Amino acid sequence: MKLEALIRPNIKKMKPYSSARDEYSGADGIFLDANENPYETGLNRYPDPYQREIKTNLAAIKAIDPRKIFLGNGSDEPIDLLIRIFCEPGSDKIITLDPSYGMYGVAAAINNVTVVRVPLTENFELNADEVIRHIDPNVKIIFLCSPNNPSGNLLNKDEVRKIIRMFPGIVVIDEAYIDFSGDPGFLPELDEHPHLVILQTFSKAWGLAGLRIGMTFASPRIIHYLNKVKPPYNINVLSQQKALDSLRNRGKVGEEIRSLIDARSALIKQLAQHPLVEKIFPSDSNFILIRFTAAPAVFAHLIKNGIIVRDRTSVKHGENCLRISVGTEQENEKLLNTLADFKPL
Ligand SMILES: *Cc1c(COP(=O)(O)O)cnc(C)c1O
C-alpha cells in the first residue's frame, strides 16, 4: 500500500502550526517575531524546532540522511505520534508482541486504538507467521522491540524481515538497546523499506535518560508527518545543548557500553551458579531476565537490602522472573553478595 493511503485523512488535510522559527529560520538578525524577552539569559529564545545541529551530527554518526531523522521527547513521543498519524481512533488496531515494552499499548489505549497482543514463544522468540496470522485491514502498525524488553534478546532478523515483506502497513522496530547487542540492527536496511520506522534513544547506552530525547529513523515522508503533528518546540534548548555535547564527546559512551557488556557476561556467569537461579535468558541488552525458584521471596530479600529490581512475574511467560539492570562493578558485587546471603525458608 502507498504510504499516503495509510495516513489518516484529517492528518493529511490539516494545516500544521507555523511557528516564528518556521517562517524565518536564519540565524542572524534582530529577532522581534516571537514575542521573546530580548534580555539574554541563555534561554530567552525558543529552541530550533527541527534540532538541525543535532541531526547533522547524528546523520554522520549513523551514516544516514538527516532528512530521515526525527527527534522526540523520549521515544514515547514518536510512539504516540505514529499512532495518531496512522490509526483511526475507534476502528484501527496495532499489533504488539507479548511480552514487550508497555508504552505501545498505553499510547494505543489513550488514542482509543485496539491492541492485538501476539505472544512470543516461551523463550521469547518471534514467530513471524503467528504475527502475520493476526493482520487484518484495520491493523496499521506492528511494533517490534529488538532487543526486546523485558526478555533482553534480539529478535531473529529473518522473522522480522518476513513481517516487513508481508505487512502493507507500518513496521516499527524499537532498538532502544541495540548498542548493547553487537548487531547493526535495521538501520542499514532502512532505505529498502519506505514503511519501516526505527526507534533509538539517548536514554540507555548514551546515559541520558533524564534528557528525554528519542531518535526516529524513517523515510522522509514519514518524518514529514511526524514533524507536522509534533508540538512545535518539543526538544528544549538545554536538552539540545546537552545532546550535542554528548555526540561530540562520544568516546566515553563507547567505553561504557563495552564495560557494561563485560559486566553483563560476568554477572551471568556468577548468577548461573546460584542455587536459586533456575534460568537466565540470553541478553543482548543492559539487563538480564532471570527465572528464580521463588522470585517473590528473592525480590523481597533484595528490597530489604536496598536493591531494587523489576518484578516481571506477571508478564506473559515471565513466571518467577525478575529483570535486573547491569549496574556498576560495585553494584553488581553487592547484588551477588546479597543473593548469596539469601536463605530460603
Ligand atoms: C527504555 C526504553 C525506551 C526508551 O524510552 P525513552 O522515552 O526514549 O526514554 C524505549 N523503548 C524501550 C523498549 C525501552 O525499554
> pLDDT tens digit string along 27-72?
899 999 999 999 999 999 999 999 999 999 999 999 999 999 999 9
Average pLDDT over residues 156-169: 98
- Asked whether the beta carbons of 259 and 298 are under 8 A apart, the reply is no
SS3 221: helix
Using the mean position of ligand 1's atoms as its centre, give its distance from the Cα of residue 180 in Å.
Answer: 14
Entry pTM: 0.97
- Asked whether the beta carbons of 149 and 104 are under 8 A apart, the reply is no
SS3 81: helix
- Asked whether the beta carbons of 169 and 142 are under 8 A apart, the reply is yes
Residue 278 backbone phi and psi in degrees, to 5 = -95, -40
pLDDT digits (tens, 9 = 90+) for 168-209: 999 999 999 999 999 999 999 999 999 999 999 999 999 999
Using the mean position of ligand 1's atoms as its centre, give its distance from the Cα of residue 20 in Å.
Answer: 31
- Collect all residues with Cβ–Cβ distance below 8 Å to 123 and sequence separation of at least 6: 281
Q: Which three cell numbers stand for residue 224?
A: 514529514
pLDDT digits (tens, 9 = 90+) for 100-129: 999 999 999 999 999 999 999 999 999 999
pLDDT band at 296 (very low <50, low <70, confident <90, very high): very high
pLDDT band at 26 (very low <50, low <70, confident <90, very high): confident
Question: One-letter amino acid identity for 18?
Answer: S
**What pLDDT is stored for residue 27 in this prediction?**
86
According to DSSP, the β-strands at 69-72 and 214-217 are antiparallel
pLDDT digits (tens, 9 = 90+) for 69-92: 999 999 999 999 999 999 999 999
According to DSSP, the β-strands at 93-98 and 69-72 are unpaired
Counting atoms of ligand 1 from 1, which one is nearest the CA of 73?
Answer: 7
Q: For residues 217 and 66, give the distance between their C-alpha atoms in angstroms, rounded to a whole number.
A: 9
Using the mean position of ligand 1's atoms as its centre, give its distance from the Cα of residue 278 in Å.
Answer: 28
Q: Which three cell numbers stand for residue 116?
A: 492485538
Question: One-letter amino acid identity for 2?
Answer: K
Counting atoms of ligand 1 from 1, which one is nearest the CA of 145?
Answer: 13
Counting atoms of ligand 1 from 1, which one is nearest the CA of 101?
Answer: 13
**What pLDDT is stored for residue 158 in this prediction?**
98
CB of 153 shorter than 6 A to ligand 1: no
**What pLDDT is stored for residue 25 in this prediction?**
85
Whole-angstrom CA distances from 183 to 57, 126, 146, 271 are 22, 17, 10, 25
Residue 344 has pLDDT above 80, yes or no: no
CB of 104 shorter than 6 A to ligand 1: no
**What pLDDT is stored for residue 330 in this prediction?**
97
Q: For residues 163 and 73, give the distance between their C-alpha atoms in angstroms, rounded to a whole number.
A: 28
- Asked whether the beta carbons of 244 and 71 are under 8 A apart, the reply is no
CB of 203 shorter than 6 A to ligand 1: yes
Q: How far is CA 314 from the centre of its chain?
A: 22
Question: One-letter amino acid identity for 314?
Answer: S
Which has the closest alpha carbon to 222: 172, 147, 166?
A: 172
**What pLDDT is stored for residue 345 in this prediction?**
64
CB of 76 shorter than 6 A to ligand 1: yes
